[in-house]
Every structure is written in C-alpha cells, then in structure tokens.
Amino acid sequence: MSSLPAIAIDEVLNQSPAFGDLNLFSTDAVLREAVEREGASLASDNLRSFGALCGSREALEQGRLANETPPRLKAFDEKGHRLDLVEYHPAYHWCMQTSFAQGLHASVWEHLATPGGKPMAGAHVARAAGSYMAAQMESGHCCPITMTSAAIATLQNAAPGLLAGLLPKLLSRRYDARFCPTSQKTAITIGMGMTEKQGGSDVRASTTRAEPITGSTDGTHLITGHKWFMSAPMSDAFLVLAQAPKGLSCFFVPRFRGDGTVNPLRFQRLKEKLGNRSNASSEVELQGVTGMLVGEEGRGVAAIIDMVTLTRLDCIVSSAGLMRLGLANAIHHARHRQAFGRKLLDQPMMEAVLADLALEVEGATALAFRLARAFDHAEDEGEAAFRRLMTPVIKYFVCKVGPAFGAEAMECLGGNGYVEDGLLARTYRELPVNAIWEGSGNIMCHDVLRVLMKEPEAAEAVLEGLTKSAGRDKRLSVALDRAREPLHKPRELDLNARELLEGLATVVAAALLRSSAPPYVSDAYLATRLEGGPRRTYGTGLGRAERRKIIDRAFAG
C-alpha cells in the first residue's frame, strides 16, 4: 500500500486565487500619487469608487464577454435592403455605459455648458486616471470614448457653431446605443475616418472627394470615396478627411441626414484584428454622403490635429494602464504560487523581474500623468512646449515598451498566462494597437523632428525645467546633457530619431521619478535605465535595489 497522501484527482492545489474584486485605485499607490501630484486630488474619492467598479469581478467578466463575442456586421436585412449596422454583445454596451457614467467621453469639456465656464482643476489628469482604470476593465470600448472626447476639441476650435448644437448630447452621461437621428438620442458619440488603402499614415494621399452642394450656405458637401479604417462604426457621426476643391479638408459626417434618412456609409467588412476585438473597425465606402465642412477648406489636417493629439494622450494612458494590469496579475500570482519549495516571489530571479517590471510601470505612469497635466495648463507657455514636444516622444516610448512588457508579465504566470481563460493573453493582444493607432513609431519620430526644426526653443524649455528638478544628481545631470546635445541638430537626426526619442523619454521619466518617487524607486530606475550596458530583457541590473519594497509599492492587493 502506498504511503503517499491521498489526493482527490480533481482537487486544485498551488494555484493563485482568481484576480478580481480589487480596487484599481486603492491598490495602486503610483496612480494615487500621480493624481495628487499632477493636480487632480479633488477627484480622488470619485476615482476610488470608479476603481472599485473597474476592478470588480463583474466588470472583468463583462470585459471577457465583450471580447469573446466580437461585433458582427449586418450589411443587409432579409429582403436585401441595406442596413449597415454593427451588432455588439450586451457586455460591450455595459462597458460603454460604465465609462459614460464616469464621464470619460466628455468630462474635460463640461465647463462649455456654462457661458464663460472654466475647466475643473486637473480635469485632464482626473479623466486620465479614469481612463487608466477603464482600460484595465476592458480596453476596446475606450476607442469611441476617446474619439468622442477628442472630437470636441476639434469642433470647439474649428466649428464652434456646430458644436453648440451638439453639446448637450455630447456631454450627457446617459449612454444611448440606439441607431436613430441625433435629435432622438440622449447622448451621442463621434468617430473618425482618416486612413485609406493607398495612404495609411500619409493622410494627404487621400482620394476621397468632397464636392460642395450647389446653393448650400452651411458648408455642406457630398463626399465620395473609401476609408480603410473607420473604428467604432456605430458612432453617431465622424470627422472625415476628404479632398475638397481647395485641398484636403475636414468634414463632420453624421449617420443620419437632416431629413432623417440614413447617410450612405456602406460598411464593406469588419477588420479581423489581432486584439481590440470588442471594438469594431470597419472598411467603409462613402457613396455620396452628406458632410459639413469643419474649419477652413484645404486645412483639414490643421482642423483635425487637436483630435489626433488628444487621442495620442489616451493611447499613452491606455498602454500604461494595461501594463499596470499585467504587473498586478504577475505580482498577485507570484505571491501565491510555489515552485521548488518556496513562493515565486521569494525566488531572487523572479523578484528581480517583478521589480524591474514595476519600475517600467512607474516610469510610464509618471510620463503619462505629467503629460496630462500639460493639457490642463494649455495657456502656460512652458506647459504648451512640453505638450508639443513630449506628446509624440511619450507616445512613442510608452506604447513601444508595452508589448514586450506584456510578454514578460505573461511569462511570470507561465502557461496560465498564455491561455485565454485569464486576463493576460487578452492584455498582450491589446498592447500593440496603441503603438500603431494615431501614428506609428516612425510618424512620432517625424513629428518630434518637425517640432525641433520649427521650435527649437520648445525642447530647450523642457530640458531646462528638468535640469532644475535634477538637483545635484550627477547621473541625471549627465543624462540630460547627453539628451540635449543632439536636439540642436534635427536635420541630422532622421536615421537616429528612434534612439533620440527613447533616450529623451527615459531621461524625462528618470527626472520625474527623481523628484517624486521614493529614493529606492528612483535610484533603481536611474541605475537600470541611465547606467550600465544596453538592456534587452527584464530582471537585470537590480542587484543592489530594494526589490521587495518596489514590488510592494506597485500592488497592494
């Protein structure tokens, strides 16, 4: 007879508890400090409540369902009539309703409802914190949320009269998924159509045509052409780029015309994407749709750039949030799982990997929320310079490190991380999209080079501010001097632009952490990111770091 203890075949041993029912705000000291530091402390109680909702088992389950049952195109009805509708799983609408109730689609613009109203202090930072947590709940639905908020900026600057009529529906927090004219809805969303097959990021290569309607006095055009990517196709309207008689222009294209008939946006198919599966992305033909000119004819890029810039901020925030979700899952697993006689967290190599991942999240979060603060202070010349230079720099860096980070976090769970039952496989598939949407890495590099050629003083202003915060830290001062040198030679930087952006983002993150994070965090970040040899993997160079302190700070769950 065997002397081994009897074990039921179906007994589950040595597995970490299911991840969930965790407050994504209360368990995240880095996020809480960022909100306080960057000027949104008044929103902390509200964010704590939203963090409890986003981290609940129910919310995470809704996110799973929304991705496991992706949207479906219904181009025709049973009699052959055009429908051009996209059907979503109810879980997707649950996520949309949740983010609408939080105001993530429009909260930074609520002051516009009152003549002469002023934005709430820290409005962009508070919204960024909500978006950071909403992305962890479910990332795909954040696309129409982001585009709606960002579109208001373009309409405010380029079509204030049009915005005035739409504002009550844009600011409403009562999500309305119905397909009907705007006049019948409680709330509306706005999407965007820019890229085409032949152009991609080169939107000036657009072949879509916009012809003014004879006799029209409100800038109405008939638009004919196609868009290769139009995300969130059930939005109530879209900002679309098309070639008008005077050049590339921006147009507001509603799903319904003024007479109540459906505008002929003909969806050809939904994209089969690597990730972002809950969110529909479509190819669409515009078969003589009606659209209103937004801004000056021939200056479409200038009109839509406000929307693009704000969506880039959200790409950064979403990537940082997804990285934090991956980190929290990895730490949670390592605290409970045992291997070779001790918990994973007690194994030096795993401890080093987790601490290194925590440093990456801390740096990415510091960059994201420092940038959000710059949007809150657009009237300040120094903050405006930071925003112009650092938006593409930070988007390049944070969104680039995300996929490799997601792979490492997934590896911490081993096979459990790789299967679709948990959160990390979906998180890993989500992370690449933010590096691609709203400008890939090379586009970010070109944007930075343009800023350096047109406004060299902007870069100097940013670095001067960082130099003051560096204090007497020699490592940081040397790194800042090294970053400053090539900035004055933008015409020679094209080939090495990626190196420039990575170096600049790293040194800015280091400076932010040096002035705000505990010394055991900032010292480890500087030692691993600014000193030593090239880094290719996580878990190296932390021999002297207070690794357990870094990990415990990263996730209090």
Q: Is 341 exposed, middle or buried (0-12, 13-18, 19+ CB in 10 A)?
A: exposed
Percentage, residues of the chain above pLDDT 90? 85
How many Å apart are CA 376 and CA 364, to the nearest integer? Answer: 19
**What's the predicted TM-score (pTM) here?**
0.96
Residue that has been written with the tokens 């008689």 in this structure: 245
At 242, the pLDDT band (50, 70, 90 cuts) reads very high
Would you say residue 7 has pLDDT above 80? no
Q: What tokens appear for 164 in the block?
A: 């005035």
- At residue 23, the pLDDT reads 98
**What value does the mean pLDDT take over residues 58-63?**
98
Helix axes 123-137, 90-102, angle to 10 degrees: 160
Lowest average pLDDT, out of 92-101, 145-154, 346-355, 455-464, goes to: 455-464
Alpha helices (H) in 294-347, listed in sequence order: 300-336
Would you say residue 2 has pLDDT above 70? no
Q: What tokens appear for 463 in the block?
A: 């670095």
- At residue 1, the pLDDT reads 59
Identity at 376, one-letter amino acid code: D
Would you say residue 464 has pLDDT above 90? no
How many Å apart are CA 527 and CA 378, to the nearest integer? Answer: 34
Alpha helices (H) in 110-159, listed in sequence order: 123-137, 142-158
Q: What is the pLDDT of residues 343-365, one digit of tens each?
A: 999 999 999 999 999 999 999 99
How many Å apart are CA 330 and CA 40, to the nearest integer? Answer: 29
Q: What tokens appear for 64 in the block?
A: 């799973």
Q: What is the pLDDT of residues 31-56, one digit of tens each?
A: 999 999 999 999 999 999 999 999 99
Q: What is the pLDDT of residues 475-513, one digit of tens each?
A: 898 888 888 888 777 777 788 899 999 999 999 999 999
How many Å apart are CA 118 and CA 381, to the nearest integer? Answer: 19
- At residue 377, the pLDDT reads 97
Q: What is the pLDDT of residues 148-185, one digit of tens each?
A: 999 999 999 999 999 999 999 999 999 999 999 999 99
Would you say residue 76 has pLDDT above 80? yes
Query: Which residues share a beta bridge with 439?
Result: none
**What value does the mean pLDDT take over residues 260-269?**
97
- At residue 444, the pLDDT reads 96
Identity at 102, one-letter amino acid code: Q
Percentage, residues of the chain above pLDDT 70? 99
Q: What tokens appear for 268 in the block?
A: 């050809």
Among 159, 397, 410, which residue's Cα sits nearest to residue 291? 159
CA distances from 240 to 86, 115, 477 (A): 19, 29, 45
Q: What is the pLDDT of residues 372-398, one digit of tens each?
A: 999 999 999 999 999 999 999 999 999
